[in-house]
Amino acid sequence: MTQADNLVNWSSLRAARAQLGDNFLRILGYFEEDGTKSVAAIENAMRDRCATGMVIPAHTLKGESSQFGAIKLMEAAEHIETVARHCIEARTSPDDLLADIGSLRALFERTLATLKEDSPQVATMPRRAFGQRTFGNSQRFGQV
């Protein structure tokens, strides 16, 4: 069993690939973009010792990781979310999460590398704004 085997549930990844079809690579690109933002937000919240700032990005990372079968990352994000919620309720500091958050970025990067390795043609184009239309390469809006 390799380290990558511990990071990803391969049957869940295959199921996601089948369900998303042609959209898989684009959605994986979104996962990279959103995951990077979530990890940074969690790290910033830890620097500020702000448990409330950890909950939403950890919840987001947990859900998106789950979609790709990224079980270790999902479990780490779930742990951070759960402890942060407890800290909010108990009005305590999230200091106990320091080691978990300190290793989160490396776990995210290893997981993402594993997913990309299994999907070498990851879409790198930026996300369109909601409602923005795209037209064929040979035609510009308003031109025939």
What's the CATH code of the domain at 111?
1.20.120.160
Contact 100, 79 (CB under 8 A): yes
Q: Looking at 22-26, 85-89, 101-105, which range is the least confident one?
A: 22-26
The predicted-structure confidence for 33-75, as pLDDT tens digits, reads as follows 999 999 999 999 999 999 999 999 999 999 999 999 999 999 9
Pairwise CA distance, residues 103 & 87, whole Å: 20
> What Rg value do the Cα atoms of the chain yield, rounded?
18
Contact 51, 94 (CB under 8 A): yes
Residue 129 lies in a domain: no
User: Which among 6, 22, 5 is positioned nearest to 119, based on CA atoms?
Assistant: 22
Residue 81 lies in a domain: yes
Pairwise CA distance, residues 80 & 35, whole Å: 14
The predicted-structure confidence for 64-99, as pLDDT tens digits, reads as follows 999 999 999 999 999 999 999 999 999 999 999 999
* Domain carrying residue 108: 3-118
Pairwise CA distance, residues 12 & 132, whole Å: 32
Percent of the chain beyond pLDDT 90? 75
- How many secondary structure helices (H) and strands (E) does the chain include? 7, 0
Residue with tokens 């996601």, as numbered in its chain: 16
Pairwise CA distance, residues 54 & 50, whole Å: 7
Residues 6+ apart with CB under 8 A from 32: 112, 122
Count of domains in the chain? Answer: 1
Residue 7 lies in a domain: yes
Residue 22 lies in a domain: yes
Query: Where residue 118 falls among pLDDT bands split at 50, 70, 90?
Result: confident
Residue 136 lies in a domain: no
Residue 20 lies in a domain: yes
Q: What is the pTM of this model?
A: 0.79
Expressed in percent and rounded to 5, the helix, strand and coil fractions of the chain are 70, 0, 30
